[in-house]
Amino acid sequence: MSYIKFGTSGWRAILCEDFTIDNVRVLTQAIADYLREEGLADDGVVIGYDARFMGGDFARETARVLAGAGVKSFFCQRDTPTPVIAHELLRRKGAGAINFTASHNPYNYNGVKFSPAWGGPALPETTNDIEKRANAMQGEIVFKDIDLHSAAEQGLYEEIDPREAYFATLKQLIDFDSIVASGMTLAINPLYGSGRGYLDTVLEDAGVKVFKINDTVDPYFGGKPPEPAAEYIEDFIAMIKADSSIGLGLATDGDADRFGIIDSDGAYIEPNYILALLFDYMIRRKGLKGDAARSVATSHLIDAVAAYHGVKVLETPVGFKFIGEYISENKILIGGEESAGLTIKGHVPEKDGILACLLVAEMVAVENKTLRELLTDLYSRVGEFYTKRINIKLSSQLEAALPDKFANPPEKIGTYNITEVIRIDGNKFMLDDGSWMLFRKSGTEPVVRLYAETKKQEALEKLIELGKAFILS
């Protein structure tokens, strides 16, 4: 059996290779043992899954193993978005949630995300404990299971539909009346994922005109990763460009925790810009006040917005669990990552692509401006920011040289002076003109991810080339 290892968003692996029924059983027993030791097992566990191959089968096997361990399951009746599972966990005050999802990974992956009682993705101290327990049980029969009919009779299994309770919360957070009053037609693209019947339905129920694409079940996700990045939603972009009646395009990924936003002219708007626009909108137009949190890889445009409004930004390692913790502790108004994760105060401490899309629709409706116009206005107040991310492939020789290279960084890179090195997650070089570059080594392949940001668009490619030269030299 293979080693179970949690990454930034749970354990993910290729189906039939590492992601197997046996490994799922062992991991489930490890979670049950952890909850029992923490004194939480009697509070029950919410179980959900996304639209991938065998998601429901893995989830039902988990419910059987939990029942055998005496832990009750609240089992989502159909494939369910990650933020909805988090919402249901908090609503029921459960012990935790086990969610079968590989998010935006290709079709041949599946994964498990465990959320403890506070509702966000489990922090490293929790996942390390569960990993240790699971890997110690590899190859042993350490669990028993109960068929679901018997489990239900014993009060250890209950099927639930968490959608309406989640919708009720969205209706408290979003100004649907303004979206309806705008008369906009919104194009919705769930990318064949578990967001089907969520973003579209809550808008339709409110009376918004909606046009849907890719809203059927397809475990192959149309032959592309279910990620709402520009390169994977070309059909959606082309459709919006060709239809002048569409005011905004809203996409979610495979488990609906990430978002992709298309302006009325078909332009893809990077998540970095969306985060800053929403932060500004929430303070300036909604009258809210509070700090923000962003990952170390996320644009400092949100910092400029914070400075403009006299609030602060908290910087975290990559991984939404760290932002979720701040939301759970009521320390921030909004938190987000450049990889299209976002949530807000008063909501779940987990990425919510559905909420993000609705907030953007509200902002465009209330402001009566396109996203390009809103970004131009924001730039006029806080300055311009331009970002880019690339992957740099490493030879074995270059990979071996990386630790020493980062342990002894240069004083200059090109003509830029390095004013500070931030090592929250990777190595982030702050430069004397306000630009920065971040190098993060992949944990699964010989690749360094290079993130760069400048305040002048023409300087961005130069900075990317300097970063590449630093790694490849």
| Beta-carbon contacts of residue 5 (< 8 Å; ≥ 6 apart) | 11, 131
pLDDT in tens, 357-409: 999 999 999 999 999 999 999 999 999 999 999 999 999 999 999 999 999 99
First to last CA, the chain: 40
CA distances from 133 to 4, 13, 23, 47, 421 (A): 10, 18, 12, 20, 36
Residue 434 · residue 452 · CB < 8 Å:
no
pLDDT in tens, 254-284: 999 999 999 999 999 999 999 999 999 999 9
Give the strands of the sheet with 246-252, arranged side by side: 209-212, 185-189, 246-252, 259-262, 268-269
pLDDT greater than 70 at residue 1? no
- Quick one: pLDDT band at residue 7, thresholds 50, 70, 90? confident
pLDDT (0 to 100) of residue 139? 74
- What's the CA gap between 267 and 140, in Å, rounded? 53
Domains and CATH numbers, the chain: 11-161 (3.40.120.10), 165-382 (3.40.120.10), 386-472 (3.30.310.50)
pLDDT (0 to 100) of residue 235? 96
Token pair recorded at residue 210: 């909606």
Residue 173 backbone dihedrals phi, psi, to 5 degrees = -95, -25
- What's the CA gap between 334 and 298, in Å, rounded? 13
CA distances from 28 to 40, 47, 66, 69, 386 (A): 15, 11, 7, 10, 44
pLDDT in tens, 117-152: 999 999 999 999 999 999 888 877 677 889 999 999
- Quick one: pLDDT band at residue 3, thresholds 50, 70, 90? confident
- What's the CA gap between 247 and 233, in Å, rounded? 17
CA distances from 271 to 227, 229, 231, 256 (A): 13, 9, 14, 15
pLDDT in tens, 10-64: 899 999 999 999 999 999 999 999 999 999 999 999 999 999 999 999 999 999 9
Nearest to 162 by CA among 249, 267, 55, 87: 87
Can you name the residues that pair with 269 across neighbouring β-strands?
261
- Quick one: pLDDT band at residue 445, thresholds 50, 70, 90? confident
Q: Count the residues in the chain.
A: 473
- Would the CA dihedral through 431, 435, 437, 438 be positive or negative? positive
Rg from Cα positions in the chain: 22
pLDDT (0 to 100) of residue 9? 73
CA distances from 454 to 276, 280, 409 (A): 16, 20, 20
Q: Mind spelling out the 3-state secondary structure of the chain? A: CCCCCCECCEEEEEECCCECHHHHHHHHHHHHHHHHHHCCHHHCEEEEECCCCCHHHHHHHHHHHHHHCCCCEEEECCCCCHHHHHHHHHHHCCCEEEEECCCCCCCCEEEEEEEECCCCCCCHHHHHHHHHHHHHCCCCCCCCCCCHHHHHHCCCEEEECCHHHHHHHHHHHCCHHHHHHHCCEEEEECCCCCCCCCHHHHHHHHCCEEEECCCCCCCCHHHCCCCCCHHHCHHHHHHHHHCCCEEEEEEECCCCCCEEEECCCCCEECHHHHHHHHHHHHHHCCCCCCCEEEECCCCCHHHHHHHHHCCCEEEECCCHHHHHHHHHCCCCCEEEECCCEEEECCCCCCCCHHHHHHHHHHHHHHHCCCHHHHHHHHHHHHCCCEEEEEEEECCHHHHHHHHHHHHCCCCEECCEEEEEEECCCCEEEEECCCCEEEEEECCCCCEEEEEEEECCHHHHHHHHHHHHHHHHC
Nearest to 315 by CA among 289, 338, 297: 297
| Average pLDDT for the chain | 95
Statement: the pTM of the whole predicted model exceeds 0.75: yes
- What's the CA gap between 150 and 317, in Å, rounded? 44
